[in-house]
Amino acid sequence: MIDLYIMLVFLICAALVAVEMEDLLSAVVAVSAVGLGISISFLILKAPEVAITQVVVEILCLILLIRATIHKDLPFSTSGRWFINTTIAVVFVVMFIGAISLALQDMPPFGSPIMRVGSLYLRDGFAQTGATNLVTAVVLNYRAYDRLGEMTLLFTAFLGVLVVLRRRGRVTPGKTGEEDEE
Amino acid sequence: MTVPESHSFSIVVRTTARYVVRVMMIFGFYVMFHGQISHGDGFAGGVILGLAFIMMMLVFGTEAAMRYFSRPLAPRLVSVGGLFFLTIAISGFSGGYYLFNFIGQGQVFKVWGAGIVPLCNVAIGLMTTTCLIGIYAGLTRFKPGPGGKQ
């Protein structure tokens, strides 16, 4: 259990570094350190599926962020109404912490989850689906609606990117019409 | 594979990438097809495949990589993946309900074993790969025209 706490402290430190860094590229690298630490935390908590997805998506987001920020110099604006901004931020943080502390009292204690449906999946999942990886059995057999929604989300993001970010716009209507398929 | 003159990657990076791309693609297909046996599923395998292609774009330039993946191909591949998934889902009505496992349990520890799970993994992997490549290409090749209305 001590390794998990070490990893959590590392996560907090890396997040603070990412916030406080002046250079944008260094901040992106610090954020990627946060993602790697989250993935190792998932491995410590015995969730390799989530760790794989975390690492892979993290690499992709890192590439996208570096590619997006490496040629740009985006200055942070430090002037302006800092008092009002700070007050609003503090108020929202206090509200968030209060709501979280109220909500976490109803959670089951760490390490002893409520296994109403999960125990059924663990007992019958292999016999009912034939998949030895129970996570995939749940995600693609019992709860395939979730994955369908996820794919719909990705599809919508893809269509949005294709429609909004064109390399060359439509000069004359009807000349390049391949965006209007779906 | 021709390399544009303006590119700054050294020959070490290019030679390494040329070999590593194949290994990454094999690993992506492995993760995708073994989703019901070992860890990872179609989404993770699809992201690994997309990352292999994105690495090709980064190293050899976007234009050289886009010869293998043209602009009108992306929406078609995504649509094929989505329609494949929907076909599997609607075929479940032959056994009772939407997304029903109409093939059966199959053989354990086989690649095409657990009914609709590997088919769904293939569809999801196709969609994920194409979506990620398309999003990356759209974000990196985008150049705003003059006046924003070009």
Task: Using a pLDDT cut of 70, give the percent of chain B over it.
Answer: 89
pLDDT in tens, A122-154: 888 888 877 888 888 888 888 888 888 888 998
The more confident residue out of B148 and B59 is B59
Rg of chain A over CA atoms, in angstroms? 22
Q: What is the pLDDT of residue A173?
A: 53
Specify the range with the lowest mean pLDDT, choosing from A37-41, A161-165, B49-53.
A161-165
pLDDT reading at B6 higher than 60 = no
Cβ neighbours of B71 in A, within 8 Å: 178
Quote the Cα angle for B84-B52-B15, to 5°. Answer: 150
The beta-carbon neighbor of A158 closest among B40, B78, B105 is B78
What number of other Cβ atoms are within 10 A of residue A131's Cβ? 27
Exposed e or buried b for every residue in B12-45, given b needs 16+ CB within 10 A? eeeeebeeebeebbeebbebbbbbbbebbbbbbb
The interface predicted TM-score of the complex, written ipTM, equals 0.80
Quote the Cα angle for A126-A131-A137, to 5°. Answer: 85
- Distance from the Cα of B27 to chain A's closest Cα (Å) equals 12
The more confident residue out of B95 and A96 is A96
Cβ neighbours of A137 in B, within 8 Å: 36, 114, 117
pLDDT grade, residue A72 (50/70/90)? low
- Inter-chain contact A181–B50, Cβ cutoff 8 Å? no
Residue of B47, B49, B91 best to disrupt the A interface, most CBs of A under 10 A: B47
